[in-house]
Structure 1
Amino acid sequence: MTVTQRDTSNDTSGQSWARMRRSVALTLGGLWAERITHAFWPIWTVIFVSLAALMLGLHDSAPIEAVWAGMMTAAGALVWFTWRGVQAFRAPTRAQALQRMDDRLPGRPISALMDSPAIGGNDPASLALWHAHQARAATAARSANAVEPDLRVSRRDPFALRYVAVLALAVAVLFGSILRVGSVSEMTPGSGPALATGPAWEGWIEPPSYTGLPTLYLADLGANRVEVPEGARVILRFYGKVGELTLAETVSGRTGDVTPASDPEQEFTIASSGSLRIDGPGGNEWQIAMRPDAAPQVEITGEAETSVEGQMTLPFTARDDYGVVGGTATIALDLDAVDRRHGLAAEPEDRPGLEIPVPLPISGSRTEFTERLVDNFSEHPWAHLPVRLTVTVEDGAELTGQTLPTQMKLPARRFFDPMASALIEQRRDLLWTRENGRRVAQILRTMSHRPEEGVFKRETDYLRLRAIIRDLEANLVHGVSTEKQEELAQALWDLAIDLEDGDLEDALERLRQAQERLQQAMKNGASDEEIARLMQELRDATRDYMRQKAQQAQRENEQAEQDGQPAPNDGINMTQDDLQRMMDRIQELMEQGRMAEAQQALEELQRMLENMEVRQGEGQGQQSQGQQAMEGLAETLRDQQGLSDQAFRDLQEQFNQGQQGQQGQQGQQPGQGQQQGQGQQPGQQQGQGQGQTPGEGQQQAEPGEGQGQGEGEGLEQSLADRQQALRQELERQRGQLPGVGGEAGEAARGALDRADRAMDGAERALRDDDLPGAIDRQAEALDALREGIRNLGEALAEDQRQQQGGDNTQMSDAEGAQRDPLGRDPGSRGQSMDSGDNMLRGEDVNRRARELLDEIRRRSGETARSEEERDYLRRLLDRF
């Protein structure tokens, strides 16, 4: 039986081709994408970049020439890359797709399916082997998959420009708009009518910044008359085809190299009135009226007033159309008007003129204001000599205005003590020229030769003058240097001040002289200005007398405490309110012309001042426990403030070696530092109300002092001991606080507890030589002590109100009886505990604030002060 073998190789091959048909089609499509990408990738790179620029609207802000250049470049690039792509492109075939698939298969089965046997076609065995090979190839070909195309063009695009283009398009899609693409058509020729739908130009007029005027937009003004300040800047922008819009103006006065009238950007400054016209589609015309910038004006509106201390106050008024920005007051010596006699007969040394910054209003308008020049020239060599004063102010345009030179004598302090006045005169002669040195020495020696009793109230003043004479004569041999001239002048000034201010008798004499001058002016019918000046002089003399009186009362009370006797309690009590009311009453009577009544009231005031005694309290035995606690805490607060001041001075010595010698004399010895820094020993407060003597307090305040302390111990160790004693005293006071309750009482105890911890930290810092840290802790202690005293006072007042049923009349009377002549509540030693509202009650607060502001201004302009202090003063001026 013969079996015929069936040829299945063709069937298997047909099935394989059917299964590969989809993979072949995908591979062929990938080949098309691959070859298109390799040939034409620069085309869509250019398209993406161009489209991104249009969507972002770059063509709207770029010059039209740049836009046209970009468009031509993009079009040329598209043509060039298209031609290169067509040249390089080759269309793929099905055989190439099969070849790529066959390359991915092991043994190349697809090529085997397409092959035919070269020999053995009639040999059954060869045919059987071929069919088996075909069957195996067909089976392998069934697993053939589509091959992905190779779309990488990194070798053709090494700089990744295609990714930059894609990123730019993505940014344009996010932040741009497809609607902007159409606006590029408005830049093509023949699109002129489309420009009429929007403004073809823009323009602004910017006034100078110092005028504070707003910018004007020309498109909103229409064809109107426009008034602008001098120096205003005109800015114009022309859009559309270059040359369609042109500028014509007669306001800038430009000559020489002028920007063409058709330039798309125009900018110039208005220098005169005239016309401004834009010719072309949508143009307009304006009549410009330039308002000239007037120079500022300034005038002196009153006479210079001089206080008892020599501070000059000179009112002036300044105005400008846009505001004054600065100015200077210049003072020059009027040599022709000087009485050239005695020490002024010689030729003076050259000295620069005085320059004072003109004060400006801190707030408000500076177009017109009234201010005052405030300064003290008492120590200047030209004091009381004829000078010429000129005030100059400047505006934002650097235009200046000034007053006519004012002839005056340089205001300065007047000395009424004959010896002090003579010393000041010789000081003036020495500063006039150093050639007067021998003459000054002779006159000073004559003044100090066998002085009569009463000429020098203190022997030390006489000795100081003799030392000045010896120093001056010793320098006459080789000539007095400039430095020695200034040193001797300062010594003479200090001595004259001490002689003039003197003690209580001197203050009382100045008060009597001020009263006599005022009475004489009232009798002679002096002018209102003269009466006001003398009244202010009386107020200043009274203030000085009250200060001297308070210091005397303090010394008497301290002496009484040391002797174990009650404080003196005889005399008339006056508060600041009483004194102020009497002063105001006298001035009111004088203004009303009732001179007789005013003179009688003035005499009554004089008698009251002479018989006045400064009351410091009713004695420790009559004080309540709360009052004793308040006074003790106030004493601790003052001692802590003094200790903090001494620590701060020691810290300054470390950074200011130039003043080490002067400060070292004050801070090297512990005992001296304590007296100068505080005036009292910290432990002295322990004796208040407890019957202890000051000596006992000192021993507690300075443990170890006089008990073998080595001379090599530093001041920081002494400060640490004093801080420790002060903390121990605070602990004792906390234990003796009255049993006050309520929130205020608890707050007081908490504040004192914080003060104790801060003092302990300050002590540790002082022992570690950490002065900055110690000062910080001491500041915390001061704040806590103030808060504790305030809360304790509130708690005591609340308890007293509850005990009296809300009637505090008796308490007010008792407090009023214990106040000093300035209306302050005194401490146990006459030092004020209160600087609150009583200090300004009945007084012109605005006037006092102005005086403080003037003083801050004056000190901020003194170059002799440290830069840190001047910076602090300038910050105060900026704040207030």
Structure 2
Amino acid sequence: MTGQHPDERDAERVRFDIFKSIDRLRLSAWLTLAFERLWPRTLPLLLVCALFVIFAWFGLFRMMPDLARLGLLTLFVLSLPACLYTLLRFRLPEHADVSRRLEDVNTLDHQPIAVQSEILATSTDDPFAQALWDEHRKRMAERIRGLKSGLPRTNIPEIDPWGLRAVVGLFLVIAFAFSGSPLGGHLGDAFRSHSSSNALPPRIDAWVTPPRYTGRPPVFLTSAANDQEKQFTVPQNSTLTIRIIGGNGTERVTRTPPDGKPADIPVKEEAKAADAAPAKDQPRNFELTLDTSATVGLIDSGTVHSEWAFAVLPDQPPTIRFTREPSSAVNGTMELAYEIKDDYGAASAQAKVEQIQPPAKDARPLFDAPEIPLSLPKRGADGGETKTTRDLTEHVWAGSEIRMTLVAVDDAGQEGRSETKTLVMPERPFANPLARAVVEQRRMLALNANAKPDVLNMLDAITLWPEETIRNPAHYLGLRSIRSRLNLAKSDDQLRDVVAYMWQVARGIEDGALSDAERSLREAQEALRQAIEQNASPEEIDKRMADLRKAMNKYMRELAQQAQRNPNMAQAPDPNARELRQEDIDRILKQIEELAKQGSKEQAQQLLSQLNDMLNNLQMRQAQGKNGQGDQMKQQMDKLGDLMRRQQKMMNETHRLEQQRQNGMMQDNGQFGGQTGQDGQQGQMSEEDVAKALKGLQEGQGKLQSDLQQLMDDLNGQGITPNKDFGDAGKSMGDARKSLGEADGGQALDQQSNALDSLRKGGQDMMKQMQAMGRAGKPGGPQQTDRDPLGRPSKSNNGNNFGPDRNMLPGEADIQRARQILDAIRERLGNALSPQMEKDYLERLLKFN
């Protein structure tokens, strides 16, 4: 372009830009024209494929007979060559076709676009002709500015004026959504035989049933809520059930462990009637116990229909331990206190015993170790102490040294054992020498049946001079009756009957008619306990309660008659001692009956156990006498009660001051202003006033610590060793005194609460030591106070929570008042504006036992 005029150069540049834009336009037009030619030839093939997929996803191939399925499949296959032939006739657009396309779209005449790429028909050196041709091209180029390629214009609407292609597309979308349902089909159904299948597709239901003892509901895997969930956590030994109704019978279930190969689960065989329908019409159940984590899949004709992964939650074995040493009441009833823990609750528990001294090699024992079933805590309870009382004095091992181990078993059969305790099995004390002799011979016979001749000789010796040794003719007749039965006994069962009869005679000699009454009462109590534990019907509960009331009345009547005959029992009672009245017993029995009928098994058993403790301690009270040390022991209990009341009062004052501090901080932060305090007055104490008041409590806390030390010294002087709880209480008091000196009320509150808890536990241990020393449970022991260390009517550990001026059970007014207090505490806890210190204190009140 060198040597050209500037105007010519500009014109050449313009033509260059025009040709460049035409090239881009030609490409767009070429693509548009290619699509117009390709789409009509591709659409038939796409419609045929879409119809095939629609038939498959709707499950039509699976529902068709094989002949119809093959015919339809053949029709689809034959239509493919015609569609491909139409597609093969496709030709790409040429250069002239693109030019004509652009000229037609832009309504250009004289072919201005084609001219730009054409040359003169004949080459010439005529400058005028070439210049004329260039001028013509230039003028045509001016007309092609701002051209457009246009949109594709297929002739599909002319071919399908009704728009049936849109219907096919709509059905394709619906079929895709339907394919994910249990009734949906697969693309491979068109190539598989379904001659043995039912007309309807299979219905699949799957669910997991946890063991009944776990209390968890079943999990329905195929429900709408769990349809998309594939991971489940289930308790160990849960049962997976998959039920298939319909289908072609080729469905199978596989189980794949985390590190193993899949294994097929067989169909559960069920009993069928003689006239039952064929097997293909019956539901097929697959059951699997999930004892370990695994993946379970449902496979239908080689295709995985559903798959679930299960994480199994292991069932932990139960644990059981002694919370206190085994003890016994005065009448020999054994008391066991223990704690059972299990993730789902223990199914049973018992105490297993064995003799330390084994029988001789040639001995022939008549009795095995006693069975001691244990009461179970309420399912779902978080630990806690459980108590069981059993009267084992009738067993022939009574008085022997034994080893005892507590065993708890859960519903899965897992076993937990406690530590082994060595103790002497409680025995019933006999004051009558003749009764002691009968019991001794009974024990000798029961432990070795070969000692029968020796027992006969001893009975003959006892009854040799009855006029001198046996004053009651009935006792003599009982001994001779034993001798006759023993002489006639040949088998071990007959000898065991003689052993039981010897026990009845011994108790008759000791207690008279009271022994039969007490035995009937124990049997009635045990029958009622078993009925409650087995969730018996209301009619059965009524029957057992009637038997218990009858046995209770007989026992109380015989006990009163015996007290009249025995001058030691008929001595004037202590005016401060508590009495067991008939209305107290009736009220307890009525409440036991109501709880049993309402299904409150644990509460009914607990109240029945308390009634048993009361009866045991009733015998203890009959054996009690008076001693000059009673007033001294009462004084120590009063001191402890006063000490606990003073500590409680100081803790309340500390809490009040700390609450004043919290309220003042909230006012300073603007959380509430001008709120009326607990004392009903406006405003709060300043931080300095609160700190000064807390420090003022330091001296009183120190006085409490010194008084506790003096009490411990006094107890040591009386032969009672204060346990570590008193020491912990003193340490907590000292820490609280230090915290008060530092004006740290929150820390002092926790330490004062710990001190109060330790004082209460120490008081309980002190009462136990008094009983063990014979000061509270044997003749000559001190009288018991009717007040606990807090000055309230006492509810002692031995069960004597009754008195002449107080009912055993809370009245309606007491219950209503307790509910009101609890409601008020919970309402205060729910107040968002309550200080955190107050909330902590209220939570401690709710947990305070």
> What TM-score bracket applies, with the shorter chain setting the length?
0.3 to 0.5
TM-score by length of 2: 0.34
TM-score by length of 1: 0.33
**Which structure dedicates a bigger proportion of its chain to helix?**
1
